[in-house]
């Protein structure tokens, strides 16, 4: 299974492609804008002009695109993956998308003889670059076992979550946790700044204590440096939070923290911050102080 088709060579995908090539896989890639992937082409990735050409001879196909409608397009549009992948291929969607779409991919793919998994990731651009992503896999356990070498090329914390769509449910739970943690970081830094504390001293003081978190470690220094470059786009985080709320609607319990954080991000997106990193949430607090 050394020949992989890869669709979605963006901030995350580009590093994942590089790590797969380092592990000895042949990477066949498709991107809408070839100019944006010239660097990985120069490093050995094989570019194809169409999705059909990209996946036709590949035993495994990986997708990590932006939004649920992008997932539906690359899999279901005429001539794309479900029409073109080789018989028995492993189709691995690593996009964070709707669990409902993940189940549809599995059902329709299995009916055509494909082995389909939902395997969203967490760890951001740094995890993708370092090959230390957490990978949350849903689908048939036998298929998961067959693809462990592929997953190990991109991540270090790889776990089988259960049947089809369970990987997506696990990722949405992860995003709910991030929403609460990152909003806490932003609120705390806003409070500290209003009291004239030295933010670096505060960070050094609390980051190794009970208030420490990955969100503080990664985004505390960026917020203090006013660095809002995206490791993960705010607009994509908005998409993830909306998916979680949609999946949980009607359960009888509200996701109150998530709802409030989503509202803040939506306001920021309306103000033009959707293409910034998730740490741009601090702007919500700055605008109110």
- Report H helices in the chain: 11-22, 38-42, 51-55, 68-76, 81-84, 99-111, 124-130, 141-146, 148-154, 166-194, 199-206, 214-224, 234-248, 256-270, 282-286
Which active-site residues does the annotation give? 171
For residue 271, how many other CB atoms are within 10 A of its CB?
Answer: 12
Q: Tell me the three-class secondary structure of 174-203, residue by residue.
A: HHHHHHHHHHHHHHHHHHHHHCCCCHHHHH
Cα–chain center distance at 4: 19
* Residue 247: partners with Cβ closer than 8 Å, 6 or more residues away: 98, 99, 169, 172
Measured CA to CA, the distance from residue 119 to residue 135 in angstroms comes to 6
């Amino acid at each position: 299974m050394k020949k992989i088709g890869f669709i979605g060579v963006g901030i995350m995908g580009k590093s994942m492609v590089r790590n797969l090539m380092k592990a000895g896989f042949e990477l066949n890639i498709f991107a809408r804008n070839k100019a944006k992937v010239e660097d990985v082409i120069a490093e050995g990735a094989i570019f194809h002009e169409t999705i059909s050409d990209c996946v036709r001879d590949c035993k495994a196909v990986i997708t990590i695109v932006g939004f649920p409608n992008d997932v539906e397009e690359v899999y279901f549009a005429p001539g794309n993956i479900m029409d073109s992948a080789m018989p028995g291929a492993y189709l691995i969607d690593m996009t964070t998308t709707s669990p409902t779409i993940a189940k549809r991919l599995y059902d329709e793919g299995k009916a055509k003889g494909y082995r389909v998994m939902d395997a969203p990731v967490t760890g951001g651009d740094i995890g993708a670059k370092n090959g230390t992503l957490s990978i949350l896999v849903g689908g048939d356990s036998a298929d998961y076992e067959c693809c462990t070498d592929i997953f190990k090329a991109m991540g270090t914390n790889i776990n089988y979550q259960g049947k089809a769509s369970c990987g997506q449910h696990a990722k949405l739970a992860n995003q709910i946790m991030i929403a609460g943690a990152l909003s806490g970081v932003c609120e705390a830094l806003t409070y500290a700044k209003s009291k004239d504390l030295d933010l670096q001293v505060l960070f050094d003081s609390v980051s190794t204590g009970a208030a420490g978190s990955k969100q503080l470690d990664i985004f505390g220094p960026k917020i203090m440096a006013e660095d809002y470059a995206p490791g993960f786009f705010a607009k994509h985080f908005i998409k993830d939070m909306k998916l979680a709320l949609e999946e949980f609607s009607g359960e009888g319990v509200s996701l109150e923290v998530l709802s409030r954080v989503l509202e803040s991000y939506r306001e920021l997106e309306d103000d033009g911050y959707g293409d910034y990193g998730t740490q741009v949430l601090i702007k919500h607090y700055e605008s109110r102080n």
